[in-house]
Amino acid sequence: MNKISFLFLAVVLIFFSECKKEADKDGDIEQDSWEEEEQELPLNSRVDLLLDSIHSLDKQAIASENEKINTTKLLVEEIKNIIPNYNTALVASIEEKRALVEENLYSKVTMEDESFMVAYDDYCQELMDKIQEFATSTDEFEKYKRAALLSSDILEANHRDFMIRKNYNNYVLEFNVLLEEKGDKIRELGVKYQGLNKFPLFYGDPES
């Protein structure tokens, strides 16, 4: 393994690991602070804030997954066009893993299936492993700047997915409990609140 390529990947992985730790920490602090403030809000404002957060994170989750898939396609194209004598078998494996991720992308139904999501996450991790293997086994990989940047973007998107899902589930759990406890009062707030239902959770209900 090329020492410089290994060092490059190590730095990238350490950076993402530390960012994830800080994001988890900051996210928990922000979540606690937000929950204290929103408890004092009128019911309609509290519901609206929860709905806005849930819809925003839902869009972010899908966008992040699509970024991971589409950026992998760009990476493979870049490798084929720029890197001489690249490992064709390894690139074929990257394409195969990417196809599995794309084919098994979760839906509103399957996101609640824990076994489906665990399998999907495994496909994603296998893709990450192959991309990392290519980066560390390619001599002077870091000199191919666009390929190196695309690789970093894919790894970052994969890490970001878990934080988005965590935040989404936090808001959904709060909303679902609120709807269960105060559903009648919420529906009395107006027409736009009358058709509200519980939202699905990533990996399903933890209490089920």
Q: Which domain holds residue 55?
A: 3-193
Per-residue pLDDT at 205: 78
Which amino acid appears at position 99 of this protein?
A
Q: Mind listing the pLDDT tens digit for each residue in 169-203?
A: 999 999 999 999 999 999 999 999 999 999 999 99
Per-residue pLDDT at 8: 54
Q: Mind listing the pLDDT tens digit for each residue in 81-138?
A: 999 999 999 999 999 999 999 999 999 999 999 999 999 999 999 999 999 999 999 9
Q: Quick check: is 202 in a domain? A: no
Name residues whose C-beta falls within 8 Å of residue 176's C-beta, 6 or more positions apart in sequence. Answer: 198, 199
Q: How many domains does the chain have?
A: 1
Q: Mind listing the pLDDT tens digit for each residue in 117-126?
A: 999 999 999 9
Helices (H), the chain: 3-38, 43-82, 88-103, 114-137, 145-187
Q: Quick check: is 51 in a domain? A: yes
Helices (H), 83-144: 88-103, 114-137
Q: Which two tokens stand for residue 182?
A: 């105060």
Q: For residue 170, give the nearest of 18, 19, 29 by alpha carbon.
A: 29
Q: Which two tokens stand for residue 37?
A: 């403030």
Q: Quick check: is 166 in a domain? A: yes
Q: Quick check: is 205 in a domain? A: no
Q: Is the pTM of this model over 0.85?
A: no
For residues 102 and 177, the answer to whether their CB atoms sit within 8 Å is: no
